[in-house]
Amino acid sequence: MDPKSVKIVVAGGFGTGKTTLVGTVSEIPPLTTEEVLTQASVGVDDVTGVEEKTNTTVALDFGRITIDSDVVLYLFGTPGQDRFWFIWDELSQGAVGAIVLIDTRRLDTSFSAIDYFERREIPFVVAVNRFFGQCLYSDEEIRTALRLNPAVPLLWCDARDRTSCKQALIELVRHALSRLPIAG
């Protein structure tokens, strides 16, 4: 029997750690479409808070996780810049849900990703990426700032830590399953 495939999107703003998360949990070397940031992106890509960033995803990141002989997760990381948003519709088609990564230093880059999944009624969780260290904000402060629906799970992760990323994926799958209509 062929395994069932489950598509998950890893989304968020520019520089939130999407490529890192996909690479951290993928059992295969991830496919990335990262390109070097050039002078052409000056004034187009806002690197405030991520000035050390030298590469950016221009199409997608792809990874795979085999759960067992019956289920394989396929991870699709989105590009974060507005000019690549046209790709999101293709990447999100057929997805069971999404992890929206946020960076509390740059919350404004998160609004459009949250809005994207809310408008399309695709289940998602919001994961605060702690890759830069401690966060000065509480769950409630972040929820309020993002105007996050109380039904949307908010969790903390570090995109560099495999266990942390796996927990985010587990929470997303639980959330997506909880939204399925109950047959009766």
- Under the banding of pLDDT at 50, 70 and 90, the label for residue 156 is very high
Residue 68 confidence (pLDDT): 87
pLDDT top residue among 75 and 40: 75
Residue 183 placed within a domain: no
Going by pLDDT thresholds of 50, 70 and 90, the confidence category of residue 31 is: confident
- Range name among 43-47, 154-158, 171-175 with the lowest pLDDT average: 43-47
Give the pLDDT confidence score for residue 48 in this predicted structure.
59
Specify the pTM. Answer: 0.85
Does residue 184 lie in a domain region?
A: no
Query: What is d(CA 26, CA 63) in angstroms, rounded to the nearest whole number?
Result: 5
| CATH code (residue 164) | 3.40.50.300
More confidently predicted of 45 and 130: 130
DSSP string, 119-152: HTT--EEEEEE-TTS--SS-HHHHHHHHT--TTS
Inside any domain, residue 85: yes
Domain-located, residue 146: yes
> In this structure, are residues 114 and 126 in contact, taking their beta carbons and an 8 Å threshold?
yes
Decide: helix, strand or coil at residue 26.
coil
Domain assignment present for 10: yes
Domain that holds residue 113: 4-178
Q: For residue 57, tell me if it sits in a domain.
A: yes
Average pLDDT over residues 171-182: 86
pLDDT at site 9: 96
Q: What is the pLDDT of residue 154?
A: 97
pLDDT of residue 36: 61
| Residue 37: predicted pLDDT | 57
- Residue 130 lies inside a defined structural domain of this protein: yes
The structural domain count of the chain equals 1
In angstroms, the CA 147 to CA 110 distance is: 11
Q: 110-149, pLDDT tens digit by residue?
A: 899 999 999 999 999 999 998 766 677 899 999 999 999 9
Instruction: Tell me the pLDDT tens digit for each residue of 53-107.
Output: 556 655 688 999 998 888 899 999 998 777 677 888 998 999 999 999 998 888 8
